[in-house]
Structure 1
Amino acid sequence: MSADQQGNRPLSEEELQDLVASSDAGGRDPAGSIGLFLAIVAVIWSVFQVLLASPIANYVLPGSVVNNARQFHLAFAMFLAFAAYPALKSSPRNYIPIQDWIMGVLGAFVALYGYFFYTKIVDAGGLADDTDKWIALGGLILLFEAARRALGPAMAIIATIFLAYVFFGSSEWVPEVIRWKGASLKKAMSHMWITSEGVFGIALGVSTKFVFLFVLFGALLDKAGAGNYFIKMAFGALGHLRGGPAKAAVVGSAATGLISGSSIANVVTTGTFTIPLMKRVGFSSEQAGSVEVASSVNGQIMPPVMGAAAFLMVEYVGISYVEVITHAFLPAAISYIALVYIVHLEAVKRNMPTLGDREVHLARTIVGMASFFLVFAGLCYGSQFPVDAAEAWVPSMAGLVITAAILLVYVGLVAMAAQVPDLEPDDPNAKTVELPDISKIYKAGLHYLLPIIVLVYFLMIEQKSPGLSAFWATALLFVILATQKPLKAIFRGNSEVVNAFLSGVFDLWEGMIAGARNMIGIALATATAGVIVGTVTLTGIGQVMADLVEAMAYGMTYFAAVFVHLISPATDMIGLTAFDGTIAERAQDMTGTTLVFVLMCVGLLSLVLGMGLPTTANYIVVSSLMAGVVVELGAQSGLIVPLIAVHLFVFYFGIMADVTPPVGLASFAAAAVSGGDAIKTGFTAFFYSLRTVALPFVFIFNTDLLLIDVTWVEGIVVAVFATIAILVFTAGTMGYFVTRSRMYESIALVFVAFALFRPDFFMDRISPPFTSVDPSALVETVGETPVGTEVRLVISGPDFDTLEMVDTTVVVPVGNEEGGAARVEAMGLLLVEEDGLVKLDEPLFGSPVADDLGNFDYYGDEAVRITSVNLPSSQPPKQLIYIPAMILLGLIAFLQRGRAARQEVPA
């Protein structure tokens, strides 16, 4: 049945652009002088943000403006939100009603209130007076309305619920477990609007300092023509393979994801070309849309932009930007590799035809693409050497020399681009599809790689701030947009140089408008999420949420223990009994399982909230509520979970909300392009994205996947076997490896993938990773332990808030002090041996264990004590597990290859 027969039809190009505009940039675009005025405001915002990120910000902008940049950032966003986003579907789109003008101006004013009355607020110590509190309340109402228009009602509703909890949290109708004393209007408004704890907090600061520049960078790069270039290159490299359009969609979306933080825009940009071609070679409308959704949504997990989350992680986790994208890179890369493999398996299963008449050389294609990425990485890395040479030869003029060299390279690359025709978007519905010839078109866009190289150089080599790095890359894009067309005209001998220059300036103008309008929703999302974060810090609801989730997880653990208890006779028969004793004892033994249930609760919360919140806001809310919970419960279970792993876990599940029915916006956008059913598209995309669901659980328990504390050699080994693992997992879940898999083969493939992802799981059971020491021998043991050895201590004691006995695990390195007593004291442990127990006094402030042990009540009836001391034991390398796993994989391949050969033999 066709799409039209089902009542679905592909949207026209105009309708698709309207869909993107209404979701990302605002659906209202008035013509005439009003339209010009809005365009000027958007460009002024872009220029302001560029100047703010520049090295000359303190020279060209007043200090008061720089210090209050967040207020100006939100003021622009609120004014443009009321101007660009209609209040209702029935509201006019060709002009701005008077009430929207009023709300836009008022919104900008209340956002700038802290700037206009900065002295008064500082003199009052940040405490609101009667005027401040009413202005702040009006500001919140206007902010919520702007967020409702730009982001949908969910964000405003959730923020309103949290704000209501601030005021009415002491009411009797509030469940006792989350009840608190409540706050006055003046105190709440001080916290939410006047200080930097609420709306103008970290999230809006990150949006102001970093995110805008990267969004603008992406908009300018796309306006220059890079998006079309990336798609054509991907299609030229992969289009001739079986399922080629789908593979091109994946690679093209990955490249587009580098410059776009929007799933919907990515779907529409690449999908209008790839989805019809996917349908042409045999993919159904839903499958074609699902491939595009899965690849476009994954663009947000691909460094360096990561949908703005990377910059938030810098602030929330407290590590450098380079560390964030280093940790995020491998999971994102193997996730895309797996998606290419998924569409390959779909094409093989369905015996899909190839496009064009080009001879298929799979190995050559893989080598060619790998070579391109290696060359690109080499250029990024090697760029430091000419820079170092210039700084050594002419230190006083190194900046000018480097700038001149970049411009010369740029002019040379544009001269190469002028030798071939400009790339025009292809018609995917043409009767005959001509595959782009990479050898002929690659010259057309090599100069687009220069800004990316500059960005990567400043981020990774110079390790400058993300804002400054994006500034230099954006500055180069300004030059490219303004000059590429006139330079091409000159090199081609065209006399229309002036017109070409004016066309380039117009492209730059439109790019700055697009960047500003794309930022409206992100700025409002971070500001509104600040209300939720402010509620957490003001009321302490975060700890209550931790207790609730912990109770839920322990409840699930108890039921799991009941199940184990019920099946234990059967397991006894085959010698697999893991637990002895009562159900309670079994539940106690399954504390590691509790963390899995907590992670499931966090993932579910991210999915539910993500149905109405944009990815960035979803990440802010869930990480603020739950990141600390996961780390704390992990420590109680004996697992030290790095904070960055938890934040990436939350982020991965947040982006899955763009896929998951019934609200997944990216799935609806893809269905609008393909004419397929949106719900079916969403479910199919979720199935294709199973690896995105599985990977976060893997890197929580195996942080090697995030390249944490691994050497270069170990990192390469992890990357190789993680890639094999994700491909094997894909084959297992797709039911196809060498040929169609039988059920037991699929289960075996998933088992192999688990072994490759978690070799430590099996090695720890073969050879325990730790040796237990009696706590009373701690001082003597630490005195004899080599310097730098990490000692794992399990501390038990009453929780400061609940007074219930809890355990937590801390890892402390052994110092180089003389004697065990001095080393223990240097750790911050104040030991008191009494009643046969090794008790602890409250650690000194600033000592290594002070933060980890700060949640205990040291003055209650129950003493805080050390219950376990564990030292690393001599364990065989966990990589040995790879050997039997690969043997099993080879056996499965051997069995399937034999079956496939028999199936090919004619009867």
Structure 2
Amino acid sequence: MSDEVENTKENPLVESLLPTTNEDEMKKLMQDLDKEQAYREHKCWRQSITVIVSVVFCFFQLYATLSGTIPAQLVRASHLAFVQFLAFLLFPATKSMPKNTLPLYDVILAFVGAGCWCYYIINFHEIVMRAGAYTAIDIIVGIIGIIILFESCRRIVGLPIMIIAGAFIIYAFIGKYLPGFLNHRGYKLTRVVSHLYYTTEGIMGTPIGACSTFIFLFIMFGSFLEKTGIGQFFIDTCNAIAGGASGGPAKVAVLSSALLGTVSGSSVSNTVGSGSFTIPMMKKLGYRGEFAGAVEAAASTGGQLMPPIMGAAAFLMAESVGVPYLTVVKAAIIPALLYFAGIFITVHLEAHKLGLKGLPKEEIPRFLPLFLSRGYMILPLVVIIYFLCSGKTATYSALMGIISIIIIAIAVSLIDVSKGKKPRFGLDDLVDVLCAAARGIISVAIACGMAGIIIGVVTLTGLGLKLGAGLVALAHGKLFVTLILTMVSSIILGMGAPTTANYLITSTITASAIVRCVYGAGSPSPEQLLPAHMFAFYFGIIADVTPPVALAAIAGAAIAKARPMRTAVNATKLAIGAFIVPYMFIYNPQMLMLGANALSILGITVTALLGMFAISVGLEGYAFAHTGFLNNFNLALPVKKAASVVERLAFLAAGLCCIDPNPKTDVFGIAFLVALLALQVLRRKRNKALVEG
């Protein structure tokens, strides 16, 4: 047995998923790692029912958005009714259950789950007129609805968020028995259920409000994009740009994953989708399996940090913090640039260290013919970004993007028909898109509903401020210690959660600690809240490559035939920017373009990029030559290794000084980096002379 195959024994999940570009194997991999992909594929009448419900769901959402005449509570309740019905029709109780059957109990759960929200819709006016005087039937329906939401969360989203939401509900009941800052007066069953189920402070709160409007539209937009084949177009374009460079396939993975990830919002599906193409290419070129899988995982995860969409988190952040959407996008630019620059530079250094070349010229598509033949695919993205930057709402921009895709699809199909070809986009494709959009929103809506429970308990008990005060007290008021505690909490809370739910949970629970530590009992402005929210979001997202869970890294390892934990460690090293930059923008928000002019932004960007280069050298142990200023001397190996460690630490120190947006540290960091690079150049020349001599 080969070492690569034997390595898969480290993880039973990876053991059964030996890497392949076979479509069925990729699908199985996504189903095993991503609960959202483990849906039933019905046949005959069952398929017809799910298709009809999905299409009706999509048209209802479009009508509700365009008309604007339906009360927000009814839109949210209807949204949840459709979601609960489809959740139990499409997702089995466990991943191992057959995907071609539909047990009677799931049919019952589907109707009961949807019926609980239909009860609210039918009795909406009576519930409103009763003004908080809830009946016994109201409470029973609310309890059943919450229990069924938990079950659908267990099936589709996963245990972490379900456990957190359950703990919060328990806290609402037992808080009066807890000591210290966790103590509150306690609440009865009627108050808790009514607050969580019937008010816009709970399940039907801001998360579901966002999900039932612009998030749904962006998921539909993404389904249209996927159907047009834009993912392959991105890969081909990046291949044309960077495929021939040193270590080309790895650079293609970084660029294409950044483009795909900002739209998809799923690190696992992005890793599998683009990784099935890029990882085998990287290995063929000479990259180690652990490194190849890590590159794709780190880049795919970082796609959710990439503006302008950030997996729909940009819109949620704008709404939660209370700042314009463009403020969030501008704030995310420099951190995202540094994140991907770190990965790109490390990939480049690894390629030079190993002596890897780019792809052969004949395997690289030509950019101009590619752009002329398929460049129309990016027009919908251009449209949506144009309207967003013009100050239009996210909902309006998404609608314009969808309309532009439909117009382009019709135009392309008409051209195909005029040439006697089969049209590339027909009625069946439209139905597929609508079904994919309805299926794609299920996990997001359920996660948003669970996040609503967490937020509901926080607003009911005042826990948000108490948690912030508790973390600050634990850190003895020290900002750096508070940031470390917040980082650890956000990584734990973010494990396995979809992007949107990830942001909602981490920002609700952990961001308040940073705000409390920085501003005390004051009332910071929305722009002052943004760094804390961005900090929590970054570490929640990076959980997808951070051991021990590291779902994206495990997906990359499975494709690459590599050790999963070693792949995760490599991915964490590649994603080092996400562990450093958030600390920097908390101490100096100018990195988020808050209160900074164009000249200072340019200076911050240039010095920070130099800093990421230095940090990448320190982690990689190579710039122009291997680190170790004693390598050319006849000394013991431990001494040479110690010298290498010292030099790597020096590069790391220089990098941190450059990233810190402070003129004094920038000057010191740049001078230190120049000196270190000069030593590297001299060592390279000496090595070359020794080889030639």
TM over 0.5: yes
Q: In the TM superposition, what is the alpha-carbon distance from 1:702 to its structure 2 partner?
A: 1.4
Does residue 535 of the first structure (1) align with residue 539 of the second (2)? no
Q: Percent identity among equivalent residues? A: 34
Q: Report the counterpart of residue 464 of structure 1 in structure 2.
A: 392
2:531 is aligned with what amino acid? A
Q: Report the counterpart of residue 647 of structure 2 in structure 1.
A: 745
Pick one of 263, 267, 290 that aligns with 2:267.
Answer: 263
Deviations 1:386-438 (A, max 9, x none): xxxxxxxxxxxxxxxxxxxxxxxxxxxxxxxxxxxxxxxxxxxxxxx722122
Tell me how far apart the structure 1 counterparts of residues 576 and 509 of structure 2 sit (CA, whole Å).
Answer: 25
Q: Report the counterpart of residue 580 of structure 2 in structure 1.
A: 694
Tell me how far apart the structure 1 counterparts of residues 262 and 374 of structure 2 sit (CA, whole Å).
Answer: 16
Pick one of 213, 227, 230 that aligns with 2:234.
Answer: 230
Does residue 904 of the first structure (1) align with residue 669 of the second (2)? no
Q: In the TM superposition, what is the alpha-carbon distance from 1:88 to its structure 2 partner?
A: 1.7
Q: In the TM superposition, what is the alpha-carbon distance from 1:224 to its structure 2 partner?
A: 0.5
Tell me how far apart the structure 2 counterparts of residues 751 and 90 of structure 1 sit (CA, whole Å).
Answer: 49
CA contact under 8 A between 2:290 and 2:567: conserved in structure 1? yes
Deviations 1:183-217 (A, max 9, x none): 11111111100111110011111111211111211
| Cα distance, 1:142–1:548 mapped onto 2, change above 3 Å | same
CA contact under 8 A between 1:289 and 1:673: conserved in structure 2? yes
Structure 2 stretches of 5 or more lacking a match? Answer: 10-14, 629-644
Pick one of 226, 241, 248 that aligns with 1:244.
Answer: 248
2:46 is aligned with what amino acid? I
Larger radius of gyration, structure 1 or 2? 1
Q: In the TM superposition, what is the alpha-carbon distance from 1:746 to its structure 2 partner?
A: 2.5
| Cα distance, 1:181–1:624 mapped onto 2, change above 3 Å | same
Pick one of 200, 204, 209 that aligns with 2:208.
Answer: 204
| Cα distance, 1:885–1:638 mapped onto 2, change above 3 Å | farther
Tell me how far apart the structure 2 counterparts of residues 126 and 114 of structure 1 sit (CA, whole Å).
Answer: 14
Tell me how far apart the structure 2 counterparts of residues 745 and 2 of structure 1 sit (CA, whole Å).
Answer: 33
1:811-850 correspondence runs (5 A): none
Tell me how far apart the structure 2 counterparts of residues 324 and 127 of structure 1 sit (CA, whole Å).
Answer: 41
CA contact under 8 A between 1:484 and 1:504: conserved in structure 2? no
Q: In the TM superposition, what is the alpha-carbon distance from 1:639 to its structure 2 partner?
A: 14
Does residue 618 of the first structure (1) align with residue 627 of the second (2)? no
Of Structure 1 and Structure 2, the greater helix share is in: 2
CA contact under 8 A between 2:89 and 2:102: conserved in structure 1? yes
Tell me how far apart the structure 1 counterparts of residues 339 and 262 of structure 2 sit (CA, whole Å).
Answer: 15
Deviations 1:39-94 (A, max 9, x none): 2222222223233333xx14xxxx34655211111112111111111002343310
Does residue 321 of the first structure (1) align with residue 331 of the second (2)? no
CA contact under 8 A between 1:128 and 1:187: conserved in structure 2? no
Q: Report the counterpart of residue 293 of structure 1 in structure 2.
A: 297
1:454-853 correspondence runs (5 A): 454-460=383-389, 462-490=390-418, 494-496=419-421, 499-500=422-423, 503-554=425-476, 594-636=478-520, 642-742=528-628, 743-760=645-662
Deviations 1:137-174 (A, max 9, x none): 10000000011111112222221121112123234xx4
Pick one of 283, 287, 297 that aligns with 1:283.
Answer: 287
Deviations 1:771-824 (A, max 9, x none): xxxxxxxxxxxxxxxxxxxxxxxxxxxxxxxxxxxxxxxxxxxxxxxxxxxxxx
CA contact under 8 A between 1:207 and 1:523: conserved in structure 2? yes
| Cα distance, 1:508–1:724 mapped onto 2, change above 3 Å | farther
Pick one of 305, 308, 328 that aligns with 2:309.
Answer: 305
Q: In the TM superposition, what is the alpha-carbon distance from 1:510 to its structure 2 partner?
A: 1.4
* Greater mean alpha carbon deviation, residues 744-753 or residues 522-531: 744-753
* Greater mean alpha carbon deviation, residues 295-304 or residues 605-614: 605-614
Structure 1 stretches of 5 or more lacking a match? Answer: 359-432, 555-590, 761-877
1:324 is aligned with what amino acid? V
CA contact under 8 A between 1:178 and 1:544: conserved in structure 2? yes
Q: Report the counterpart of residue 133 of structure 1 in structure 2.
A: 139
Does residue 27 of the first structure (1) align with residue 36 of the second (2)? no
Deviations 1:615-665 (A, max 9, x none): 332321221122222112113599989210011101100111111222221
Q: Report the counterpart of residue 143 of structure 1 in structure 2.
A: 149
Q: In the TM superposition, what is the alpha-carbon distance from 1:672 to its structure 2 partner?
A: 2.3
Tell me how far apart the structure 1 counterparts of residues 613 and 215 of structure 2 sit (CA, whole Å).
Answer: 33
1:901 is aligned with what amino acid? K
Tell me how far apart the structure 2 counterparts of residues 127 and 146 of structure 1 sit (CA, whole Å).
Answer: 29
Q: In the TM superposition, what is the alpha-carbon distance from 1:885 to its structure 2 partner?
A: 3.2
2:394 is aligned with what amino acid? P
Tell me how far apart the structure 2 counterparts of residues 216 and 681 of structure 1 sit (CA, whole Å).
Answer: 33
1:621 is aligned with what amino acid? I
1:14 is aligned with what amino acid? D
Tell me how far apart the structure 2 counterparts of residues 67 and 611 of structure 1 sit (CA, whole Å).
Answer: 30
Q: In the TM superposition, what is the alpha-carbon distance from 1:263 to its structure 2 partner?
A: 0.8
Pick one of 360, 366, 369 that aligns with 1:440.
Answer: 369
Q: In the TM superposition, what is the alpha-carbon distance from 1:489 to its structure 2 partner?
A: 4.3
Cα RMSD over matched residues?
2.1
Tell me how far apart the structure 2 counterparts of residues 539 and 27 of structure 1 sit (CA, whole Å).
Answer: 37
Q: In the TM superposition, what is the alpha-carbon distance from 1:265 to its structure 2 partner?
A: 1.3
CA contact under 8 A between 2:531 and 2:589: conserved in structure 1? yes
Tell me how far apart the structure 1 counterparts of residues 453 and 60 of structure 2 sit (CA, whole Å).
Answer: 26
Tell me how far apart the structure 2 counterparts of residues 296 and 612 of structure 1 sit (CA, whole Å).
Answer: 15
CA contact under 8 A between 1:224 and 1:507: conserved in structure 2? no
| Cα distance, 1:603–1:687 mapped onto 2, change above 3 Å | same
Tell me how far apart the structure 1 counterparts of residues 99 and 334 of structure 2 sit (CA, whole Å).
Answer: 44
Tell me how far apart the structure 1 counterparts of residues 625 and 87 of structure 2 sit (CA, whole Å).
Answer: 53
Q: In the TM superposition, what is the alpha-carbon distance from 1:884 to its structure 2 partner?
A: 4.1
Question: Which TM-score applies when normalising by structure 1?
Answer: 0.70
CA contact under 8 A between 1:481 and 1:507: conserved in structure 2? no
SS in 1 for 2:94: coil
Tell me how far apart the structure 1 counterparts of residues 528 and 451 of structure 2 sit (CA, whole Å).
Answer: 24
Tell me how far apart the structure 2 counterparts of residues 64 and 472 of structure 1 sit (CA, whole Å).
Answer: 21
Of Structure 1 and Structure 2, the greater strand share is in: 1
Q: Report the counterpart of residue 574 of structure 1 in structure 2.
A: none
| Cα distance, 1:129–1:279 mapped onto 2, change above 3 Å | same
Tell me how far apart the structure 1 counterparts of residues 648 and 298 of structure 2 sit (CA, whole Å).
Answer: 22
Tell me how far apart the structure 1 counterparts of residues 70 and 295 of structure 2 sit (CA, whole Å).
Answer: 49
1:393-404 correspondence runs (5 A): none
Tell me how far apart the structure 1 counterparts of residues 172 and 267 of structure 2 sit (CA, whole Å).
Answer: 34
Q: Report the counterpart of residue 632 of structure 2 in structure 1.
A: none
Question: Which TM-score applies when normalising by structure 2?
Answer: 0.91
CA contact under 8 A between 1:39 and 1:513: conserved in structure 2? yes
Q: In the TM superposition, what is the alpha-carbon distance from 1:299 to its structure 2 partner?
A: 0.4
| Cα distance, 1:327–1:289 mapped onto 2, change above 3 Å | same
Tell me how far apart the structure 1 counterparts of residues 439 and 460 of structure 2 sit (CA, whole Å).
Answer: 33
CA contact under 8 A between 1:725 and 1:753: conserved in structure 2? yes
Q: Report the counterpart of residue 43 of structure 1 in structure 2.
A: 55
Q: In the TM superposition, what is the alpha-carbon distance from 1:439 to its structure 2 partner?
A: 2.8
Does residue 449 of the first structure (1) align with residue 378 of the second (2)? yes
Q: Report the counterpart of residue 890 of structure 1 in structure 2.
A: 674
SS in 1 for 2:450: helix
CA contact under 8 A between 1:25 and 1:514: conserved in structure 2? no
| Cα distance, 1:677–1:531 mapped onto 2, change above 3 Å | same
Deviations 1:301-349 (A, max 9, x none): 0112212221221222111111111111121122112211111111111
Tell me how far apart the structure 2 counterparts of residues 88 and 881 of structure 1 sit (CA, whole Å).
Answer: 54
Does residue 17 of the first structure (1) align with residue 27 of the second (2)? yes
